[in-house]
Structure 1
């Protein structure tokens, strides 16, 4: 079994947050069941976090958890692109107030185009595509997102409620 790991599960280990214990448990389970991997996207996101001062520090962290860096297949990248396209067409225009639900349009000061919120980027879809096509499961705390765009993906920790 090959288990891919999302950036948020590794950041939980680095920052000892509310997901730290769940992340440790799932990584131990994944290691017992087979290989544990991340994509180069997750590697880049970890390096962008600022926690590591060098590639050797990040590499040592990954080695300590027996995590290998793998590249997504072309099929995984294609599925990622399809998912991102669905997301882009579903994304609403403008902004919505989380309190009252009122929708507003905000225009760019430079070109007057309507601005739309960006909650997920293509990298999130590459992580999901890689886990779906090239792996057997994903450790992530973004369950609702991955269930929506990669419904066949097994996500750990298993949860009946969306985090």
Structure 2
């Protein structure tokens, strides 16, 4: 069975940004997920990557080199993101956890993707049924 994986922004920054302690793990995790099935990037991740990559053409090439599919965030996912973010804020959550994180988690949930991220706790708290790949779950 093929499994699709939405790649969180932080993992792509590890791979495409300056060398850091998680670069090796992130590159290896992307390769492992590619063996399992489709890699996906959505419009939210795309927008968060824009400041890192010089041009949109360069970002397209980088995404294409990894063989990632590009997906729009659905209306259902947008609604789930808004409801979940509202619940987070009512529970005393601070604005550090911005709405884009909730869009990413909601998109993965609604579309049936796994999520490759370094922020597992953040997503697990609000999307408990989401299959998450992180350094904690896949060292």
> What residue number does 2:116 align with?
139
> What residue number does 1:124 align with?
101
> What residue number does 2:67 align with?
66
Whether 1:89 and 2:66 are equivalent positions in the alignment is no
Q: Which moved more, 1:54-63 or 1:69-78?
A: 69-78
CA distance in 2, matches of 1:33, 1:129: 21
CA distance in 2, matches of 1:21, 1:135: 27
CA distance in 2, matches of 1:10, 1:135: 20
> What residue number does 1:54 align with?
55
Q: Matches of residues 142-161 of structure 1 in structure 2 within 5 Å? A: 142-157=119-134, 159=136
More helix by share: 2
> What residue number does 2:76 align with?
75
On the 8 A contact 1:132/1:153 being kept in 2, the answer is: yes
Give CA deviations for 1:48-81 in whole Å, capped at 9, x if unaligned. Answer: 2xx3221111111111111121012222112111
**Offset at 1:34?**
1.0
Whether 1:36 and 2:39 are equivalent positions in the alignment is yes
CA distance in 2, matches of 1:77, 1:70: 13
On the 8 A contact 1:72/1:134 being kept in 2, the answer is: no
> What residue number does 2:24 align with?
21
CA distance in 2, matches of 1:125, 1:23: 21
**Offset at 1:158?**
5.6
After the TM superposition, which segments of 4 or more aligned residues of structure 1 sit over 2 Å from their partners?
none
TM-score normalised by the chain length of structure 2: 0.89
CA distance in 2, matches of 1:19, 1:67: 20
Q: 5+ unaligned residues in a row in structure 1: which ranges?
A: 93-116
More strand by share: 1
